[in-house]
Structure 1
Amino acid sequence: MTAAAPAPLVPTAPVSWRFILPYTLATLAMWMAFNAPGQVLIGQQLITLDEANKEANLALILGVGALISLLANPIFGALSDRARGTLGRRRPYLIGGAVAATAGLLLLGVGGSVPVLVAGWGLTQLALNAYQAALTAVIPDRVPPSQRATVSGLAGLSQVLGTILGVGLTGALPVMLAKYALLGALLLLAMLGFVLTSRDPQAPATPPAPLSLAGFLSPLRHRDFALAWLTRGLVTLGYALGTTYLLYFLRDRVGLKDPAAGVFQANLAAGGALLLTVMLGGILSDRLGRRKVFVIGSTVVIATGLLTLALLPTWPGTLAAAALMGAGFGVYLAVDVALITEVLPSAHDSARDLGVINVALTLPQTFAPALCALFVTSLGGYTPLFLAAAVITLISAALVQGIRGVK
């Protein structure tokens, strides 16, 4: 990122592929580092370490990581908004986050016990949330409203492709440390590709207010922002309940002999469906100038996928559910991010406010693993779990109607 003149609070100049491609790759590498360990690698390590207690241990590790994310994302976002050094507002957190996340990934790679895995995942989550807070804020910094759903669609595509590529590439390596080292190396390369080719707009002349707890909570006083926060949280919770224990669902309920390969193939199905919808949804939303109808429709499709998992707990049913969830999630990720950027209360505090939004992504993941374990071990198993996930997701669709400031 090179120095630049102060940018308008709402950018108007369109961005080209010279910005979009490095941004998408930086986002892709981030999601590889987030999703491959959380969906497969840590679960595989726990089967080797303590198979009898794998569900409880996975809930502990993922829950600690999500709790760290809950606090880290808005804090790093607010710090990024207030940065006034020569490196700019976003670049220090992109560089520092990528370097520290690589260290956390390497610690996971050598993890020979549950406490080491907790420490490694905690560090990884802390660092990746610093990186994510800065990277997400680049959209309101640089992208005009007329392109936000399109750019957000590519970022959303990266989330699913990050899982596919992360699981697929690490699955080709025989040594666990090498799997994590690959994720760290790709993250560093993608970060460098972005910060060396994209400018970091100078901060607004008027600095944000000093950090305070009231400041972090203040965005939620705005009705539209609060509803956007709540609906994002409910969709995230529903999706997390449907996917967190997918590895164990395929192994213990469906009966696959290679559940890791099953997770990979399910993500391929989701990614293929997402490819068909993510850009189409984003482009149509931008051209029509409408957000809510796309968010509501995509949420209903996600809920249909979760119902499919509940009612057809078979391998074909899993693939069908994955395709439905991918198709819905593609449109949702593209358009919901654009909707959120249009209800931000303050352009001066965009990274902080987006960090608060990201709490809606991390808060459900704090307790989703424990809820999954509770359903699987004590509340009837996977069918009630997936039914609850579908109901929660449909509630989100109903609440989107209440957002007034966006069509």
Structure 2
Amino acid sequence: MTTTRGPDATPDAGGPGGRAGRGWVTALALANAAVWVGWFGPLQILLADQAEEFAPGTGMSKETLLAWVTGAGAAVSLLANPFFGALSDRTAGRWGPRRPWVAAGAAGGALSLLLLAGAGGAAVLAAGWCLAQLTLNAAFAAVTAAVPDRVPRAQRGAVGGWLGVAQILGVVGGTGLATAAGGTGAGYAACAVFVVVGVLPYVLGRSEPGAAPVRPRSPSSWRDFLRGFWLSPRRYPDLGWAWLTRCLINLSNALVLLYLLYYLRDRLEIDDPERGVLVLTAVNAVTLLATVVVGGAWSDRAGRRRPFVTGAGLLIAGATALLAGWQTWPAAVVAAALLGVGFGVFTSVDFALMTEVLPSAADRGKDLGLVNVANALPQVAAPALAAPLVTHLGGYRVLYAVAAVIALAGAALVGRIRSVA
């Protein structure tokens, strides 16, 4: 497999020649899980509960307030991820370029979650969530960039799979901690503790033996630094199409998840919607865990990425359409299971595909930060799109139908990527 690069790009040999060891991969995956606990404990349960509590004092509905808070946080994430990725590219020292940012981001994220635990109104809720997004994205940008630093291309599908396992365990763990802790404040505190403890093995561990170190970039002017954040889709078309594919699939997923608690409570009218969210998350996790590593490893062996990403996108679209057409609790369980299968394959293989269309080895942190904008931008767009769909344009049936069409478009665009098989 080859990748398209600009004339001044530094060739990326695909990482070190030797395979990354199990201990290093495990520590990196645990750090990734810690970041996702910090995100999804609030996103799945805690922010929604606080939005419902604070909404009467704002003149907004709970849906609108939650949309504003999560949208503001996602807007911060759009800028934070590539910015901190670029800073990690330029960081030197005995701790290496990535670990200082993982440590600082986790510490800041934990403090932000504790701020949210004490929020007494909508303004503090929004400010605390923006601060959590800022700090946790510093850690996430460094964790993501460590993979092409240390892992050869032929292993990236499998390692991406293990990061996918960590991601879903973080989602389930964050949801579980938020549900079982016994209150909003206790839920935030439990997530904060996990964020700090989870990154310690990676932060305190040794660098991967034999790994190819990242050479920090020499200082440049702020103008050059900022100019580096633009990657022309015309110059790097495969990166552009891969980015758009990821953005659309993630937008579909964000539309499904944003109002899940309210969907179960208000549309399906189940008795315990918080527990319902946890059950659906667990079902999704089981099927995702069953496919995420297998899909990535299978892609490594086949030497192909595009068919796996396309198939995963089609399955995601079908499962989301099921939510639109059959609005019952059994349908929600089936859809959660199918979405897990689709996202399991998509998570690992799409990550490997993205590392293979990066323009330069010297800017991996920054470039993957820009790639990760395709994760954050849907969090901004989803509230703006979902709120009017649910409140004025047809309700949850229309919301999930739109999400299905968006996922289908993402699957179709994979075929435009030419340099990766």
Q: Decide which moves more: 280-289 or 50-59.
A: 50-59
1:215 aligns with 2:228: yes
Matched residue of 1:216: which SS? Answer: coil
Aligned residues of 2:45 and 2:179 also touching (Cα < 8 A): no
Partner of 1:241: 255
Give the unaligned 5+ runs of structure 1. Answer: 1-6
Please tell me the residue identity of whatever aligns with 1:403. I
1:137 aligns with 2:150: no
Distance 2:203 2:217 in 1: 25
Query: 1:254-276 CA distances to partner (integer Å, 9 max, x unpaired)?
Result: 11121111110001110111122
1:147 aligns with 2:147: no
Q: Alpha-carbon deviation of 1:367?
A: 2.0
Aligned residues of 1:294 and 1:332 also touching (Cα < 8 A): yes
Matched residue of 1:348: which SS? Answer: helix
Aligned residues of 2:141 and 2:365 also touching (Cα < 8 A): yes
Q: Normalised by the size of structure 1, how large is the TM-score?
A: 0.95
Q: Please give the residue correspondences for 1:141-180 in structure 2 after superposition, counting only pairs within 5 Å.
A: 141-180=149-188
Partner of 1:114: 122
Q: Please give the residue correspondences for 1:5-404 in structure 2 after superposition, counting only pairs within 5 Å.
A: 10-50=15-55, 53-199=61-207, 202-204=213-215, 207=218, 211-218=224-231, 220=233, 221-404=235-418
Aligned residues of 2:107 and 2:196 also touching (Cα < 8 A): yes
Question: Between the two proteins, what is the percent identity of the paired residues?
Answer: 45
Distance 1:105 1:219 in 2: 36
Distance 1:69 1:309 in 2: 29
Query: 1:211-257 CA distances to partner (integer Å, 9 max, x unpaired)?
Result: 43331112543011111111111111111111111111111111112
RMSD: 1.7
Aligned residues of 1:309 and 1:318 also touching (Cα < 8 A): yes
Q: Alpha-carbon deviation of 1:326?
A: 0.8
Please tell me the residue identity of whatever aligns with 1:127. T
Q: Decide which moves more: 190-199 or 210-219.
A: 210-219
Give the unaligned 5+ runs of structure 2. Answer: 1-11
Q: Alpha-carbon deviation of 1:11?
A: 1.6
Distance 1:70 1:212 in 2: 17
Q: Decide which moves more: 361-370 or 72-81.
A: 361-370
Aligned residues of 1:208 and 1:348 also touching (Cα < 8 A): no
Aligned residues of 1:241 and 1:385 also touching (Cα < 8 A): yes
Q: Normalised by the size of structure 2, how large is the TM-score?
A: 0.92
User: After TM superposition, where is structure 1 displaced by more than 4 Å over at least 4 residues in a row?
Assistant: 205-211
Query: 1:167-201 CA distances to partner (integer Å, 9 max, x unpaired)?
Result: 11231111322211111111111211111114176
Partner of 1:4: none
Aligned residues of 1:33 and 1:184 also touching (Cα < 8 A): yes
Please tell me the residue identity of whatever aligns with 1:72. A
* Equivalent pairs, count: 401
Q: Alpha-carbon deviation of 1:50?
A: 2.7
